[in-house]
């Protein structure tokens, strides 16, 4: 019998790409979706999707066990701000949340992973399914960052590494040597839009430099940094001129199309490894 893998799907293309890869490998997918979050297009690839409320833990675990899936992958975005409303946790989630020392993303997700493990379900690295999409080191765009953009990316990188180490966010937006916005629970796109608004409200032209990094001890089972065509729509809207991502730890969705569109928009993209002294990162 083919191996069964549970796919716990958030929003965006990530779950769809994982399902496609599993199908090519002959792995049977048991798909779980979140009402109002998961893209319905997943069903065309993974088959029927069982939907649950955001905040439910007990029923998804039972569904995976009943389906015979003893391994699962989390893929896709769930807005961190949902912690402050719109979530109806079940009894198991209430008990779990009450036991946590804080409500940071990593704290919650690791606790959820432990709940699954108690029931014999192992959460796998999501990057393991899409390793071919991980950013490789070097200049990825046709245009190289200018000297000022390099300095801004360096500043953004250092700041992003600092906040990601505290599990605050993974993205920092800089312009002309000043940190304009730091990502928190609102997410990357909202942080970039906020930065553009700050610059434009003061009569300036948005020429933003964005640094998006992995956490110092990134858990590859969840919350991986991702950029793709949807990101470029926000970049274009907000005047993003340069982007730094972390090599080997950032997924580039639709890589060829992404880089082609970035070149059309004249966005400079550098993929770096932490500790590369050539650029001060």
Partners of residue 254 on adjacent β-strands: none
Q: Could you tell me the CATH number of the domain that includes residue 140?
A: 3.40.140.80
Q: Residue 196 burial (CB < 10 Å; 0-12/13-18/19+)?
A: buried
Last residue of a domain, one of 72, 96, 124: 124
> Same structural domain for residues 119 and 140?
no
Identify whether 277 is part of a domain: no
Identify whether 279 is part of a domain: no
- Token digits for 157? 């990188």
Q: Could you tell me the CATH number of the domain that includes residue 104?
A: 3.40.50.20
Count of structural domains, the chain: 2
> Same structural domain for residues 141 and 113?
no
> Same structural domain for residues 76 and 170?
no
Identify whether 281 is part of a domain: no
Identify whether 165 is part of a domain: yes
- Token digits for 223? 């919350």
Last residue of a domain, one of 68, 91, 124: 124
Residue 11 is given by DSSP the state B
* pLDDT on residue 141: 97
* pLDDT on residue 277: 40
> Same structural domain for residues 139 and 39?
no
- Nearest Cα to 174, choosing from 206, 141, 140? 206
pLDDT tens-place string over residues 90-140: 888 888 888 988 888 788 888 989 999 999 999 998 878 788 889 999 999
pLDDT tens-place string over residues 39-54: 989 999 998 999 998 8
Q: Which domain holds residue 237?
A: 132-272
> Same structural domain for residues 58 and 102?
yes
Residue 134 is given by DSSP the state B
Residue 86's CB is within 10 A of a number of other CB atoms, namely 12
Identify whether 221 is part of a domain: yes
Q: Which residues contact 171 (CB under 8 A, 6 or more apart)?
A: 160, 182, 183, 188, 191, 192, 210, 211, 212, 213, 225
- Token digits for 145? 């960052």
> Same structural domain for residues 23 and 119?
yes
The answer to whether 22 touches 129, Cβ cutoff 8 Å, is yes
- Nearest Cα to 224, choosing from 141, 134, 115? 134
Identify whether 255 is part of a domain: yes
Partners of residue 252 on adjacent β-strands: 227
Identify whether 105 is part of a domain: yes
Give the separation between CA 108 and CA 111, rounded to whole angstroms: 5
Last residue of a domain, one of 124, 159, 178: 124
Query: Is the Cα torsion angle 225, 230, 236, 238 positive or negative in sign?
Result: negative
> Same structural domain for residues 104 and 18?
yes
- Nearest Cα to 146, choosing from 181, 182, 170, 176? 176
> Same structural domain for residues 118 and 136?
no
Identify whether 278 is part of a domain: no
Instruction: Please list the pLDDT of the chain residue by residue as tens digits (281 residues).
Output: 567 899 999 888 899 999 999 989 899 999 999 888 899 899 999 989 999 988 889 999 999 999 999 999 998 887 665 554 456 778 888 888 889 888 887 888 889 899 999 999 999 988 787 888 899 999 999 999 999 999 999 999 999 999 998 989 999 999 999 999 999 988 999 999 999 999 999 999 999 999 999 988 888 887 789 999 999 999 999 999 999 999 999 999 989 999 999 999 999 999 998 765 445 54
> Same structural domain for residues 220 and 155?
yes
> Same structural domain for residues 210 and 267?
yes
> Same structural domain for residues 239 and 256?
yes
pTM score, whole prediction: 0.85
Query: Is the Cα torsion angle 167, 232, 259, 277 positive or negative in sign?
Result: negative
Q: Residue 201 burial (CB < 10 Å; 0-12/13-18/19+)?
A: exposed
Tracing tokens 């039972």 back to the chain, one arrives at 62
* Whole-Å CA distances, 197 to 30, 193, 227: 42, 6, 21
Give the separation between CA 279 and CA 37, rounded to whole angstroms: 39
> Same structural domain for residues 140 and 120?
no
Cα 146 off chain centre by = 27
């Amino acid at each position: 019998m083919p191996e069964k893998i549970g796919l716990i799907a958030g929003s965006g293309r990530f779950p769809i790409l994982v399902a496609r890869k599993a199908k090519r490998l002959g792995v049977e997918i048991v798909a779980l979706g979140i009402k109002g979050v998961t893209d319905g297009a997943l069903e065309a690839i993974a088959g029927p999707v069982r939907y649950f409320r955001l905040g439910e833990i007990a029923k998804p675990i039972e569904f995976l066990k009943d389906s015979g899936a003893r391994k699962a992958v989390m893929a896709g975005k769930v807005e961190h701000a949902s912690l402050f409303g719109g979530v109806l946790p079940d009894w198991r989630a209430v008990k779990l949340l009450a036991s946590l020392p804080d409500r940071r993303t990593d704290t919650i997700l690791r606790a959820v992973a432990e709940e699954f493990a108690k029931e014999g379900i192992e959460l796998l690295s999501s990057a393991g399914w899409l390793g071919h999409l991980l950013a490789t080191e070097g200049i990825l765009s046709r245009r190289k960052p200018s000297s000022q953009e390099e300095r801004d990316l360096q500043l953004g990188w250092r700041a992003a590494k600092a906040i990601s180490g505290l599990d605050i966010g993974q993205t920092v937006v800089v312009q002309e040597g000043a940190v304009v916005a730091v990502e928190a629970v609102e997410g990357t796109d909202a942080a970039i839009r906020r930065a553009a608004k700050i610059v434009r409200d003061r009569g300036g032209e948005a020429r933003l430099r964005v640094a998006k990094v992995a956490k110092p001890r990134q858990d590859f089972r969840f919350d991986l940094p991702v950029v793709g065509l949807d990101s470029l729509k926000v970049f274009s809207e907000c005047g993003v001129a340069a982007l730094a991502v972390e090599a080997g730890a950032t997924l580039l969705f639709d890589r060829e199309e992404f880089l082609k569109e970035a070149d059309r928009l004249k966005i400079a993209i550098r993929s770096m490894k932490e500790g590369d002294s050539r650029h001060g990162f």
